[in-house]
Structure 1
Amino acid sequence: MADSKTILIAEDSSVILNLTKKILELQNYKILTAKNGGEVMKQVGSNKIDVILMDLNIPVKSGMECTREIRKSENKQIANIPIIAVTGNANNYSMEDFKEAGINAYLPKPLDFDMLVQTVKQYTAE
């Protein structure tokens, strides 16, 4: 593996954030974190990110709002970052909502870590 891929984890639960971070670090990913939508937008603006794991229920700006904002970016590299939605209450959203917002994939909570690794690999493969 050449240089490691950078994953942004947007998650307001420290427990889930730390577990997810550890699992992905074991796969040699570089991890950035954001505890709210404002931090997500800051990270996206100042780092090259390969995949975003986006909790939909983060404070300041929801994951859906952040996704829409990222998709509208003038910078094509930012606008095209794969976004994997992570949520415990997906019942509030349909696959259409996800598609409309520009979400590439969806993982339900509680997270299945094998599925997480597999999905991230799928979106970071060259």
Structure 2
Amino acid sequence: MTEVDYKKVLVAEDSSVIQNLLKKILLFENCKITSAKDGKSVLSKFESEDFDLIIMDINLPLLDGLSATKEIRSGKTKKANIPIIGISGNAKNLPVSDFFEAGMNDYMQKPLDYDKLIELVKKYTGSF
């Protein structure tokens, strides 16, 4: 498999356990994973690399996922349109509209349904 067969996914998650689970699952879907543990790192990696998708926890240190998403969406480049899937263990405490108003394309509640996650990754990266 060549490098171009892979989809590049930025996983923004401060939990190492969830980060590692996402990595293992997405590797089976031919995704190349880059991880970020806080919102500031997300923005830094987003600016320096090209990704096909971001999976963004909303409860990140330094800069929360909703704010990081708004920052990405405020950009004037084509990169600002990158698909972003929000994930949260507190999704029941937030109206769904908060995710979409921040600019996220979709969201999932934790614990994650990995079949649904793969379905969303394929939907937003165009890989089937």
TM class by smaller structure: over 0.9
Contact 2:6 2:31 (8 Å CA) reproduced: yes
What amino acid sits opposite 1:54 in the alignment?
Answer: M
Consecutive unaligned residues in structure 1, runs of 5 or more: none
Q: Report Cα offsets for 1:9-40 as digits up to 9, x if no partner.
A: 00000000000011001111110100000110
Partner in structure 1 of residue 125 of structure 2: 124
Partner in structure 2 of residue 82 of structure 1: 83
2:5 match: secondary structure: coil
What amino acid sits opposite 2:33 in the alignment?
Answer: I
Partner in structure 2 of residue 18 of structure 1: 20
Are 1:98 and 2:88 counterparts? no
Q: Report Cα offsets for 1:30-77 as digits up to 9, x if no partner.
A: 10100000110011001111110000001000000000000001212x
What amino acid sits opposite 2:88 in the alignment?
Answer: T
TM-score by length of 2: 0.93
TM-aligned CA deviation for residue 3 of structure 1: 2.6
Consecutive unaligned residues in structure 2, runs of 5 or more: none
What amino acid sits opposite 2:37 in the alignment?
Answer: K
TM-score by length of 1: 0.94
**How does 1:31-46 map onto structure 2 within 5 Å?**
31-46=33-48
Q: How many residues align?
A: 125
Structure 1 moving runs of 4+ over 6 Å? none
CA RMSD of aligned residues (A): 1.3
2:46 match: secondary structure: helix
Matched-pair identity in %: 51
